[in-house]
Amino acid sequence: MSRAILWKKLNNNEIQCQACNHFCTVIPEERGKCGVRLNNNGEMETLVKDKIAALNLDPIEKKPLFHFMPGTQTLSLGTMGCNLACTFCQNYSLSQPPKEQQEPIGDPISPNQILAAAVEYSASSISYTYSEPTIFIELLLETADLAQKSGLKNIIVSNGFQSPQCMNAMDGYIDAANIDLKAFSEDFYSKYCGARLKPVLQNLVRIRKMGWWLEVTTLLIPGLNDSPEELEQMAGFICNELGEDTPWHISRFHPTFKMTDRPATPVETLERACSAGLGAGLKFVYTGNIPGHMAESTFCPSCKKMIIKRTGFKVREVHMKDGACSFCQEEIPGRWENS
Ligand code: SF4
């Protein structure tokens, strides 16, 4: 156990955690909703500061980030626990057990050791991912500080449900983010995720203003968030509030965890969603979890030629020079250094 940040004392040894938008009130010897932040006699402790449950070298395309240093490797890490309770979680074995009062498992790898591993494997960045980086903010900040000083980039892959205090704490360290926009209704967030939509929308706008490179992901679930109206609302929000340059990844759902009562997303539904995104004015809309699909590649919005060819998470061809299309010299939004 290590002392946590982002909390305040209340009366009677109770505390309020201020890491995420749940702002849990935690009574002595209890944990918050994420299951990894504990009230230890009136002081908040984190159970995952030194417990890394997953550590891998990934292509950055796997996050997914398509306009941020393409073709580079990122050292990805995560702990157990999550502040949301998505019934369709694809990483539930990592995210959910601490909610059942199970002790989070993981290896005691220090921020210095993480950085050393990133350097040894020639990673260009470190990604805080797999479960939810908000709930291991202490480990994230310490590692991100070291990484930044060594010239590596820092990336979060997140549900976007941070508190404003947490967003402020990360500002200055994070270079890029992929944030889930799981649906466009409070009902969906409440019923299937145990969360709220509004703070996520506010954080998406905040990230854009803070200047992190931002890409958005939506897992499209048949019958739940794939109606033409909802797709139009999501695409409209991304285009109007975040900007037409914001890449939108629309990903295929596979039945898992508590949501096994519906089929995988039909490819036609994903293609319909892509059309809705492009129709709303977005310049870069991608499909996810359909390896080999054309919409995994980047097309120049001006001359329409393919400028980054991808298969799965692999970059096969790049037709860009100095951040511009090699065919027509149109500038392509993104961070292309080191790629
Ligand atoms: S991170 Fe969120 S869910 Fe966890 S204790 Fe803090 S406020 Fe609650």
For each of the domains in the chain, give its residue range(s) and CATH number, in order of start.
2-46 (no CATH), 54-303 (3.20.20.70), 304-334 (no CATH)
Residue of 83, 161, 163 best suited for mutating to test ligand 1, as the one with most atoms within 8 Å of CB: 83
Which strands, in side-by-side order, build the sheet including 7-9?
A: 7-9, 15-17, 25-26
pLDDT at site 254: 96
H or E segment to which residue 180 belongs: strand 176-180
Residue range 143-180, pLDDT digits in tens: 999 999 999 999 999 999 999 999 999 999 999 999 99
Question: Whose alpha carbon is nearest atom 2 of ligand 1?
Answer: 20
Residues in contact with 211: Cβ distance below 8 Å, sequence separation at least 6, in sequence order: none
237-274 residue pLDDT tens: 999 999 999 999 999 999 999 999 999 999 999 999 99
Is 166:32 a contact under the CB 8 Å cutoff?
Answer: no
The predicted-structure confidence for 186-211, as pLDDT tens digits, reads as follows 999 999 999 999 999 999 999 999 99
83 touches ligand 1 (CB under 6 Å): yes
The token duo for 152 is 């590596």
pTM attached to this predicted model = 0.97
**Residue with CA nearest ligand 1 atom 4:** 34
Q: Is the CB of 48 under 6 A from ligand 1?
A: no
> pLDDT band at 1, cuts 50/70/90?
confident
Best mutation site among 8, 14, 22, 44 for ligand 1 pocket (most ligand atoms within 8 Å of CB): 22
Which atom in ligand 1 lies closest to the alpha carbon of residue 36? Answer: 4
For 167, the 3-state DSSP assignment is helix
Kindly give the distance from the C-alpha atom of residue 339 to the centroid of ligand 1, in angstroms, as a whole number. Answer: 36
How many angstroms does the Cα of residue 7 sit away from the middle of ligand 1? 9
The verdict on the CB of residue 37 being under 6 Å from ligand 1 is yes
The tens digit of pLDDT for each residue in 7-49 reads 999 999 999 999 999 999 999 999 999 999 999 999 999 999 9
Local confidence band at 338 (pLDDT 50, 70, 90 cut-offs): low
* pLDDT, tens digit, 9 for 90 and up, residues 279-327: 999 999 999 989 889 999 999 999 999 999 999 899 999 999 999 999 9
First to last CA, the chain: 39
> Residue 292: CB partners within 8 Å, gap ≥ 6?
311, 312
